[in-house]
Amino acid sequence: MKRRGFPAGIGWTIFFSISTIAGAAATGDGPSTALKALAKECGILIGSAVDYSALVREPIYGDTLSREFSVLTPENEMKWARIHPQQFQYNFSQPDAMMAFAASNDLLVHGHTLVWHRQVPEWLSAGTFTREEMINILRSHIYTVAGRYRGRHLVAWDVVNEAVESDGTLRKTLWLDRIGPDYIDLAFRFASEADRNAKLIYNDFSYEPIGTKSTGVYNLVSGMLARGIPVHGVGFQMHLTTSGIDVSSFAQNMRRFADLGLEIYITEMDVRSRLPATPSQLATQAKIYRDVLDACLGQPACKAFQTWGFTDAHSWIPQFFQGFRAALLFDKNYQPKSAYEALSQRLRECPRPVPPGDSHVR
């Protein structure tokens, strides 16, 4: 299967190759064995975060992405510092190119992220704005960004990212500080005004099992629902180590969010291994990927299984977690790892029926 490149007019000359990756691609006449085809039979989306420069520079990166995944998340390109570097200046070139790549390769897009306390531009973090001014800035950012990509195969937004502390209270961020706790409600209202169709998600890390943090998130979103705030789902980032997680507690936790009527997204999964990544560590990693996917497939509200990158050649792990590496499904040479095989195998154990006329969501 060959992907299509950036549409003409975007301004790059890129030569695309047909990659031949052992054991992964569907090349013959039979049904596709790529993850996205298998995931479709299971009624879920399978996705990955995408790094713009890898997409532009390495043909095999885009080939693998478009062959295996049904949804992409821009890893950094829609964050404030990148898309809104000056108060009156937006930079849409990279996210636009990613949207165009997704459109021409039949991928959906999961937007990330409209409100976060990291990767914010200096004009915002160092600026002195009143509460009213901050609310206007937030509204105008969300209208501009979410409004631009509305209806263009962007199916979900991480509206607010990482707003809850490990003790379950609201994180002390510039948003909380300058607007107050209602910044979260406001962000979801603005996002819904800007894009009526995208699923609006609250996304966070380390609240997979039942515990203090997950109860904090639960209280946050159930309060929002009680106030009529348009929140449609929760995202579990799922940045794990080879110690794994308590999957039955995760399943129980998903159930209580699902009982609120919320959708569930696994948004940023990776499983970092301590160096050197031994065969036994990679086998453990594969099992963790499989167990989490299994839990997602066991919960009808779980709509998507997304990883934070797909090749160990491009991953945030080595830079952010010293002594850890090899967290993803393909190795540095784009060869599928045991983790890939484990997901593939589990997906083959579907199919679950997909409602007629609904190609990607159960």
Q: Are 138 and 183 within 8 A, CB to CB?
A: yes
Range 6-22 burial, b when 16+ CB lie within 10 A, else e: beeeeeeeeeeeebebe
Catalytic residue among 58, 75, 77, 162: 162
Which one, of 158, 165, 155, 164, lies nearest residue 187 by Cα? 158
Minimal distance, residue 61 CB to ligand XIL, in Å: 15
In this complex, which beta carbon is closest to ligand XIL, that of residue 21 or of residue 51? 51
In this complex, which beta carbon is closest to ligand XIL, that of residue 195 or of residue 268? 268
Q: Any contact of residue 75 with ligand XIL (CB under 6 A)?
A: yes
Kindly give the pairing relationship between strand 263-274 and strand 324-325.
Answer: antiparallel
DSSP string over 91-159: --HHHHHHHHHHHHTT-EEEEEEEE-SSS--HHHHS----HHHHHHHHHHHHHHHHHHHTTTTEEEEEE
Tell me whether residue 208 is one of the annotated catalytic residues.
no
**By CB under 6 A, what part of segment 92-131 binds ligand XIL?**
none
Q: Any contact of residue 70 with ligand XIL (CB under 6 A)?
A: no
Which residue from 19, 64, 66, 76 is in contact with ligand XIL, where contact means CB under 6 A? 76
Q: Any contact of residue 157 with ligand XIL (CB under 6 A)?
A: no
Tell me whether residue 132 is one of the annotated catalytic residues.
no
Minimal distance, residue 161 CB to ligand XIL, in Å: 5
Q: Any contact of residue 316 with ligand XIL (CB under 6 A)?
A: yes
Minimal distance, residue 34 CB to ligand XIL, in Å: 24
Q: Which residue bears the tokens 């950012």?
A: 141
In this complex, which beta carbon is closest to ligand XIL, that of residue 237 or of residue 285? 237
Question: Binding pattern to ligand XIL, positions 260-279, x when CB under 6 A?
Answer: --------x-----------
Q: Any contact of residue 253 with ligand XIL (CB under 6 A)?
A: no
What six digits make up the tokens of 228?
């009529």
Minimal distance, residue 94 CB to ligand XIL, in Å: 13
Minimal distance, residue 29 CB to ligand XIL, in Å: 38
In this complex, which beta carbon is closest to ligand XIL, that of residue 237 or of residue 242? 237
What six digits make up the tokens of 304?
């998507």
Which one, of 131, 211, 205, 208, lies nearest residue 168 by Cα? 211
Q: Residue 345 belongs to what H/E stretch?
A: helix 338-348
Find the Cα–Cα–Cα–Cα dihedral 221, 107, 32, 341, rounded to 10°: -50
Give 57's Cβ-side CA count (13 Å radius). 7
The size of the interface with ligand XIL (CB under 6 A), counted in residues, is 6
Binding site for ligand XIL (CB under 6 A): 75-76, 161, 237, 268, 316
User: Which of the residues are catalytic?
Assistant: 162, 268
